[in-house]
Amino acid sequence: MNLKRVVVTGIGALTPIGNTADEFWTGLINGVSGAAPITRFDASLFKTQFACEVKNLDIEQFIDRKEARKMDPFTQYAMISVEEAMNDAGFDLEKINKSRAGVIWGSGIGGLKTFQDEVTYFASGDGTPRFNPFFIPKMIADISAGFISIKYGFRGPNFVTVSACASATNALIDAFNYIRLGKADIFISGGSEAAVTEAGIGGFNAMKALSQRNDSPETASRPFDKDRDGFVLGEGAGALILEEYEHAKARGAKIYAELVGGGMSADAYHITAPHPEGLGASTVMEQALEDAGLEPEAIDYINVHGTSTPLGDVGETKAIGKVFGEHAHKLNISSTKSMTGHLLGAAGAIEAIASILAIRNGIVPPTINHFTDDESFDPELNLTFNTAQKREINYALSNTFGFGGHNCSVIFKKYN
């Protein structure tokens, strides 16, 4: 079978360091931290009192107030990022075969705030069941894809992937496969998350997953640093327009990059801890390389999962060493979570955008907040500490790994 080529023709980002793709990129290359004390609620009694929140956002600039009330924040974030990506792609919606245009979105948790608020309201009453009629439609993770398809009239495949922190990358791979198999021409794909709530912070605190560096939030996300003490919770969304190459070419579309390979694997090890030797991580990178028809030496940059957890960062670098051998020392490697925090199910989308813009601009975003070397890591790895680095990038690989041992990798190619 002759597989179709798949290109990226539009991007949109709503992140803790910028509310558009351009602002996001500027924040990345300047090493801006999105972490600050929580403003969503009084976090004074929580072990972690900070997060990477979306800032200076007026929802009603993008979504009618009445419509917004039907949406959990994770869906609102999705709609805003998708609107930017669709405008960027420059479609004439009257000329699209909408039966061959679909939406595959990702969210690890979905409407957490809606669930928390409704159950809290019920529990505070006299036991009489009183629930908002939009409770279920606002909460369920798939509703984000539903709202997107309704807005643009896309009648092709429509669903949401849920694989914890790998969700958005799973969505991208699914969309990629539908297009290259000839089953669709266009997909809106990506992911969104809005878990900066009492339940989100409290739940991850109970797992001891979050940094508790309350005295210095802006330096708390420090992947690969000896003193890392957990991830920083983030929120937001990233949207990518994936399009069959000939379809994009025929309409004169701007092309950011080509998506050439994807891999999916499982650690089959533990519900939250990664495999200590990075077994699932090495498998998924090998799969992505095989899918793209590439040797390891072709990769120039890896946007790592790199969450700033004691175990996760070690396992991922071991996997890179296993897959890339000596070439690992010639790579640029960075964790943009050091700036954005961890957007959970949306992480793969904004990190795919970071990888694409790194290719397009010939700049590797840094891993900020590096203060103390950790002897657990190969000292010859270029982890792009603290300062962005210029280099030509022909191929970039992006990793996302989720609780439950879900692993995904995607590879983007420079478009000439």
Q: Which residues are catalytic?
A: 165
Phi, psi at 193, each rounded to 5°:
-155, 145
Amino acid in the structure at residue 146 = G
The answer for 370, left when phi > 0, alpha when psi is -120 to 50, beta otherwise, is beta
Q: Is the dihedral of CA 290, 272, 203, 46 positive or negative?
A: negative
Which residues share a beta bridge with 262?
Answer: 410
In the 3-class helix/strand/coil scheme, how is 60-100 assigned residue by residue?
A: HHCCCHHHHCCCCHHHHHHHHHHHHHHHHHCCCHHHCCHHH
Dihedral, CA of residue 336, residue 338, residue 340 and residue 346, to nearest 10 = 60
What CA–CA distance (Å, rounded) separates 110 from 52? 18
Around Cβ 197, how many Cβ atoms within 10 Å? 23
Q: Is the dihedral of CA 153, 415, 239, 11 positive or negative?
A: negative
**Residue count (the chain):** 416
Evaluated on CA atoms 41, 44, 46, 52, the torsion sign reads positive
DSSP state at residue 140: S
Calculated CA dihedral for residues 60, 175, 291, 333, nearest 10 degrees: 0
- The Cα 310–Cα 172 span in angstroms is 28
Give every CB contact of residue 26 below 8 A, 6+ residues apart in sequence.
18, 32
68 token code pair? 């917004």
